[in-house]
Chains A and B, each alone.
Chain A
Amino acid sequence: MPTVTLTFTTLPEHVRTARLVAAAVARRHGLTEDVLDDIRLAVGEACARAVARAQDAGRQGTMHVEIFEPPDRLVVVIRDDGDAGSRAPDATAGDIAEQVSLTIVRALADEVQMGTAAGARAGTDETTDETTDDMDGVHAASAGALRLVWHL
């Protein structure tokens, strides 16, 4: 059961709200300011990626941010209803932006897992990382969902 669930339309103006809420939840764990900066940036990048995926698909979508607080960890899952398969013709620029966002996220979180399309189709929590303990209650891993973990 997530502590916090946020649902937004994939508009750029909502990304700030998501990262501020994640930082506010994280702050209660007594983390240092630089770790809070990391969380703010990583969650912001993941949400900005959801916005970009919707723009690539040429439609407004929905993004979900769920924050879980299991013992000794902070877990943030960012999902969107973008279909990773439907890229706009100019996919190259989008691919580069995607890789930059993922590079940043991977450098800032202790663990990063991404939901796979196969997992989404099968309705399972299959992720690309071996250490899946299930995505903390996320019903089915959406293709391209990101699960970010910080060890407390």
Chain B
Amino acid sequence: MDLSVTSREQGGRTVVEVGGEIDVYTAPVLRERLNDLVGDGHHHLVVDMENVDFLDSTGLGVLVGGLKRVRSHDGSLRLVCTQEKILKVFRITGLTKVFPIHQTVDEAIDAANSGAKASEG
């Protein structure tokens, strides 16, 4: 299984670090981990994609599912991604309009916290 998922608390958010390849085979593992985190009460997620080597439409679907799930708890899901090959998939599918995408985890957390007073996401 070429996918690793770890999480930690930082700045009042849950940072989910994903590494390796998110594809039709490994995406279910990410889905399960995101569902577990939301189920455990972590509703404000920052998904760090900087160590992701590959992302396909199945992976996009899992992230969209995660976004919907946290939003049903008035939560949020932001992404950290600077790799062009990964950003390209979001761009092609129009999902850059759906996910807030940041250059660093710190930037994502700052944006989340400064936006906390206004509507989230």
Task: Write the residues of chain A forming the contact surface with B, with a CB cutoff of 8 angstroms.
Answer: 12-13, 15-16, 34, 37, 40-41, 44-45, 48, 51-52, 97, 100-101, 103-104, 107-108
A12 to B23 Cα, complex, angstroms: 8
- Kindly state whether residue B84 has any CB partner on chain A within 8 Å: yes
Closest residue of chain A to B2 (Cβ to Cβ) is A16
Q: Are A41 and B60 closer than 8 Å at their CB atoms?
A: no
Stretch at the interface among B38-46, B71-79, B85-93: B85-93
Which residues of B71-112 are within 8 A (CB) of A?
A: 84-85, 88-89, 92-93
Cβ contact of B93, chosen from A13, A34, A40, A100, cutoff 8 A: A100
Closest residue of chain A to B84 (Cβ to Cβ) is A34
Task: Write the residues of chain B forming the contact surface with A, with a CB cutoff of 8 angstroms.
Answer: 2, 21, 23-25, 54, 56-58, 60-61, 84-85, 88-89, 92-93
* In the complex with contacts A16-B2, A34-B84, A37-B85, A48-B93 CB distance below 8 A: no
Query: What's the nearest-Cβ distance from chain B to residue A146, in Å?
Result: 14
Closest residue of chain B to A15 (Cβ to Cβ) is B24
Q: Are B57 and A97 closer than 8 Å at their CB atoms?
A: yes
Cβ contact of A16, chosen from B21, B61, B85, B89, cutoff 8 A: B21
Q: Are A103 and B85 closer than 8 Å at their CB atoms?
A: no
Q: Are B85 and A13 closer than 8 Å at their CB atoms?
A: no
Q: Are A41 and B54 closer than 8 Å at their CB atoms?
A: yes
A44 to B25 Cα, complex, angstroms: 11
Main secondary structure of the interface of A (DSSP, over half): helix
Q: Are A101 and B24 closer than 8 Å at their CB atoms?
A: no
Cβ contact of A48, chosen from B2, B56, B92, cutoff 8 A: B56
A100 to B25 Cα, complex, angstroms: 17
> Can you give 27 A-B contacts (C-beta < 8 A)?
A12-B23, A15-B23, A15-B24, A15-B25, A16-B23, A16-B25, A34-B84, A34-B85, A37-B85, A37-B88, A41-B56, A41-B85, A41-B88, A41-B89, A44-B23, A44-B56, A48-B23, A48-B56, A48-B57, A48-B58, A97-B61, A100-B61, A104-B56, A104-B57, A104-B89, A104-B92, A104-B93
Q: Are B25 and A13 closer than 8 Å at their CB atoms?
A: yes
Instruction: Name the A residues within 8 Å of B88 (CB-CB).
Output: 37, 41
Instruction: Name the B residues within 8 Å of A52 (CB-CB).
Output: 24
